[in-house]
Structure 1
Amino acid sequence: MASLKPITVHGHDSSANPWKVVMILEELGLPYNHIFVNIATIKDEPYTKLNPNGRVPTIEDPNTGITLWESGAIIEYLVETYDKEHKISSTSFPAKFHEKQFLHFQMSGQGPYYGQYAWFTRFHPEKVESAISRYEEQMFRVVGVLDKILEDKQYLVGDKISYADISFIAWESTARMVFADKIDRFKGFKNYDAWYERIAARPSVKKVFQLRADAMAKSSH
């Protein structure tokens, strides 16, 4: 990987989705630069020339010339382009499709429900109890689904870690940090909690946790 030029990641210190991309970059040992986008101007040019949706993350890969947004698409791109040794991906049927299945479940289930729960508990101008209850219920429904799947299993697909596992960790670590009052409920899902701790202990993931903590501490000053 020494000959590769750094991939630019446009992200934000407190947003989970860019950090899940960074975890994949770290797992694959790819060089990258992480640029934090100003949320005040994220819906304006020049950033919207890269990402018309005005969200993070977006990547620019000078090695292939591609600009790409949507974290799930970015993860699939990085794995298909750079994981030649299949460190965190599979080539066999049906495992390679099950990995995609769980990545899509993260994008359609975990991310939106966790994000909406955070919005209605922390940022929405009015307290809407029905919305808070709805998204808390759905957040833990997703956890329950994964907890059942992980019974007697170390990883989501097969007997090795994959990008499918890693894709859930940024949001889960965010929830445990932001919703400390819910930590006992998260830990009550024993299979899920053991799996989370297993992935969180990986050197690459621990490094990203520290990078994020440092970035958030810096932005608070």
Structure 2
Amino acid sequence: MSHASAAPFTRAGILTGIRLSLPLWPSIAVFGAAFGAAAAQRGVSLAEAVGASALVYAGSAQMVTLEVWGQPWTLSTLLAAMTVTGLINARMILMGATIQPWMRGTPLWRTAMTLFVLVDASWLIGVRHRQEGGRDLGVLFGSGIGLWPLWVASTAAGHLAGALVTQPRAYALDMILPVFFAAMLAPLWRGVRPALPWLASGLVALLVQRLVPGYAFIAAGAAAGLVTGLLVDDGAAR
């Protein structure tokens, strides 16, 4: 497909995405520091911790992987880390599928660059921008790249500071991210029927989390949302 038909990718869009990510900065800084501190306690070097944040850029997966971190590494711990990371990041498959029509026709290098900084928050900001009639892919990229250097820098600061920022709940800073997501989701409300996949995903994830140890609830919730979404779309088509 011709690049001429691709969605615009502008500097103004990038700056808008960065601006829309600003409410998340305090939360990202705290949890990046918490990851750095936890990594230091697990014997992860500063270079390894910062490298993980810079290259993996997946806060929840990085935190959980620390629980199975092995020194020295064995085949079993390596497989455990790979499985946990795969389960937690499986939601990215669905997130990528939802933005694929928007990114159709975009040059490969730009697609790779945008998807590298794709996280839950940037996806949500981008989806809201798209739902409101926007087309500028710079918003999606900007909201992700705006958080990336902060995540890396706060990881380094947390590693150097040790255990100084390990209790974000004491200051209610852990509530910034949920409140932000709730505020961003509200304008996307299109009635009960379109919300059924979200409801099914949440209920199944809660149920599996209580019944099955580990992190299978993430994949179960994502699968439930996908199946429900397909059923809802099929019913609407009929």
Q: Given the two structures, how large is their TM-score scaled by the length of structure 2?
A: 0.28
Which structure has greater strand proportion? 1
Which structure has greater helix proportion? 2
Compare CA radii of gyration and give the structure with the larger one: 2
